[in-house]
Amino acid sequence: MKTLLTLALTLTAASLATAGDTAPADMHLFLLAGQSNMAGRGEIDPTDNEALANVFVLDATGEWEPAIEPYHYDKSFAAAGLARSFAEAYLRDHPGTVIGFIPTACGGSPVSAWQPGIYFEATDSHPWDDAVGRLSIARKHGTLKGVLWHQGESDSHPALAPAYQSALVDLIQRFHTDLTVGNVPIILGQIGRFEGKPWGEPNLTIDRSIRAVAREQARVGFVSAEGLTAKPDGIHFNTASLREFGRRYYVEFQRVASTSDTP
């Protein structure tokens, strides 16, 4: 039995090494970061979840896998997200390109968790440090083309919202210094404003902050969530809205990518 177990572990390790070694070397890489609405909590439709051709996802072990949802693994209930429709739109405009998604979003994480050395218990991870490490692995197989960020729900509280804008600016600066993203677009999504869940002042503050950062920082874009709808929990976008959100992210990515380097 011990011999069989050893053999199985050896074969598993070999297969993982092979997967990493045979991954495309010239992928267009996109970092997916933020909290649960970036990780995706939409219901997965088995009839609409075939692997997308020319799209790969960096899995929890640092290996490239075909893009079958869920792309994230932050929590056991990670599900459909916005990246799939983003990829479909991107590939229509960039035929022959290979996309590599780097999932790093952590459900429930406040922006304060996205700092060097910070441990986030809810996902048993270090969100920022893990993103740095995973991007380093991914860059062996391609070039970073964009950062897709959605976060802010966990900071929509009276004690946290006033400091959000400065924290988000700090995050953007660390994208440049720690992740050396250069001039790639950084796209920020609006938090959901759902029927029956009116915004209070903290939500409005978060929204104003995200808009201001996108307006004032070079190569940063803002994506509206207007008209998108939630799951019954009133917190997470449903699958149809996530698909639309992904298309909106792509439109904004294209707009920012086509602009000059000045704000």
Which tens digits make up the pLDDT trace of 243-263? 999 999 999 999 999 985 444
Contact criterion met (CB below 8 Å) for 96 and 53 = no
State how far the Cα of 206 lies from the Cα of 180, in Å rounded to an integer: 26
State how far the Cα of 100 lies from the Cα of 105, in Å rounded to an integer: 15
- Which range is most confident: 3-17, 42-56, 107-121? 107-121
Percent of the chain, pLDDT > 90?
80
The residue that leads in pLDDT, 154 or 44, is 154
> What pLDDT is stored for residue 47 in this prediction?
79
Residue 14 reports pLDDT greater than 70: no
CATH of domain 26-257: 3.40.50.1110
Residue 79 reports pLDDT greater than 90: no
Residue 7 reports pLDDT greater than 70: no
Residue 1 reports pLDDT greater than 90: no
The residue that leads in pLDDT, 167 or 14, is 167
> What pLDDT is stored for residue 248 in this prediction?
99
Residue 10 reports pLDDT greater than 60: no
Q: Average per-residue pLDDT in the chain?
A: 90
What are the domain boundaries of the chain?
26-257
Contact criterion met (CB below 8 Å) for 185 and 147 = yes
> What pLDDT is stored for residue 111 in this prediction?
98
Residue 163 DSSP label: G
What confidence category does residue 77 fall into, taking pLDDT thresholds of 50, 70 and 90? Answer: confident
Percent of the chain, pLDDT > 70?
90
Contacts 24+ apart (CB under 8 A), 66-69: 67/99, 67/101, 69/40, 69/44
> What pLDDT is stored for residue 22 in this prediction?
58
Q: CB-based contacts of 96: which residues, under 8 Å, 6+ apart?
A: 54
> What pLDDT is stored for residue 99 in this prediction?
98
